[in-house]
Amino acid sequence: MIINHPLLGPRDASEFTYLGDASLIDRPDWQSETAAQDFYEYQYLRDNPAGLHQELWFHESGDRSWLVVTRNTLTHEITDVQLARDVARARGRSK
């Protein structure tokens, strides 16, 4: 597959390492009362859709950026690629 890296342009997906659903960015608050349940669902449950899927790829033999790729799991068509850092910030993550 080809991932169109936002900085480096199209690169063979074999340069990347796949982690999983981009929901891994939304790590729960460790201090909420429902932390145990939140962390269980965060760590173990997945939508695993047959269709558009936001997922995390690491540019292992490239620039060591994490990317959030939006890909159709039926056709493998990729419709969007962003730096994970930007997505994380957009989802309110900071320090």
Partner 1 sequence: MTQQNRISGGQIDTSQTLKFTFDGKQYTGHPGDTLASALLANGVRLMGRSFKYHRPRGVLSAGSEEPNALVELRGGARQEPNTRATTVELYNGLLANSQNRLGSLKFDLLAINDRLSNFLTAGFYYKTFMWPAAFWEKLYEPIIRKAAGLGSLSLKEDPDVYDKGFLHCDVLIIGAGPAGLAAALTAGRSGASVILADEDFRMGGRLNSETFTIGDASGADWAAATVAELASLPNVRLMSRTTVIGAFDHGIYGAVERNNDHVATPDEGKPRQTLWRIYSKQAVVCAGALERPIGFENNDRPGIMLASAMRSYANRWAVAADKRVAIFTNNDDGHRAAADLHAKGVKISAVVDTRADAPRNNDYEVLVGAQVIDTKGRLGLTFADVRLADGSERTLECGALGMSGGWNPNVHMTCHQRGRPVWNDDLAAFVPGADLPAGMTVAGAANGDFSTAGAMASGVIGAKSALKAIGLKAKTTKLPQAEDAPINISAFWYVKEGKGRAWLDQQNDVTVKDVKLSHQEGFRSVEHLKRYTTLGMATDQGKTSNMGGLAIMAELAGKTIPEVGTTIFRPPYTPTAIGVLAGRARGQEFHPKRLTPSHHWAKEQGAVFVEVGNWLRAQWFPQKGETHWRQSVDREVIATRKSVGVCDVTTLGKIDVQGADAAEFLNKIYCNGFAKLAVGKTRYGLMLREDGIAMDDGTAARMAEDHFVVTTTTANALGVYRHMEFVRQCLFPDMDVQLISTTEAWAQFAVAGPNSRRLLQKIVDPEYDISNEAFPFMACGNITICGGLRARLFRISFSGELAYEIAVPTRYGDALMRRIMEEGAEFDVVPYGTEALGVMRIEKGHATGNELNGTTTALNLGMGRMVSKKKDSIGSILSEREGLNTDDVLMQVGIKPVDPSKPVPAGAHLMNLTGPVDADHDQGYVTSACYSPILGHHIALGFVKGGGNRKGEKMRLVSPLTKVETEIEIVSAHFVDPEGERLRA
Partner 2 sequence: MRYSGLRVIKEALTGHKGWTPAWRDPDPQSQYDYVIIGGGGHGLATAYYLAKEFGQKKIAVLEKGWIGGGNVGRNTTIIRSNYLLDGNEPFYEFSLKLWEGLEQDFNYNAMVSQRGILNLIHTDAQRDAFIRRGNAMFLNGADAELLTTRQIKERYPFLNTNDARFPIKGGLAQHRGGTVRHDAVAWGYARGADSRGVDIIQNCEVTGFRRENGKVVGVETSRGYIGAGKVGCAVAGSSSRLMSKVDMRLPMESHVLQAFVSEGLKPVMPGVVTFGAGHFYCSQSDKGGLVFGGDIDGYNTYAQRGNLPVVEDVCEGGMAIFPAFGRARLLRMWGGVMDMSMDGSPIIDRTHIDGLYFNGGWCYGGFKATPASGFCFAHLLAKDTPHPTAKAYRFDRFEKGLMIDEKGMGAQPNLH
Partner 3 sequence: MHSLSPITALGGQTPKITTIGSINVSEIDSLALASIATRKGGKTVTEKVLKSMIGSVPAVGKTCSKGSFSGFWMGPDQWMITAPLETHETIADDLVAAVVSKASVTEQTGAWAIFDISGAAMPDVCERLCAVPIREMNVGDVCRTSIHQLGCFVTPMNSGNTLRVVGPRASARSLYHAIEVAAKSVA
- Helix or strand run (H / E) with residue 53: strand 52-58
> Does 52 help bind partner 2 (rule: CB under 8 A)?
no
> Does 50 help bind partner 1 (rule: CB under 8 A)?
no
* Residue 59 phi, psi (nearest 5): -80, 75
Q: How many residues bind partner 3 (CB under 8 A)?
A: 13
Least Å from the CB of residue 38 to partner 1: 8
Q: Which does 52 bind (CB under 5 to 8 A by kind): partner 2, partner 1, partner 3, none?
A: none
Give the whole-angstrom CA distance, residue 95 versus residue 65.
18
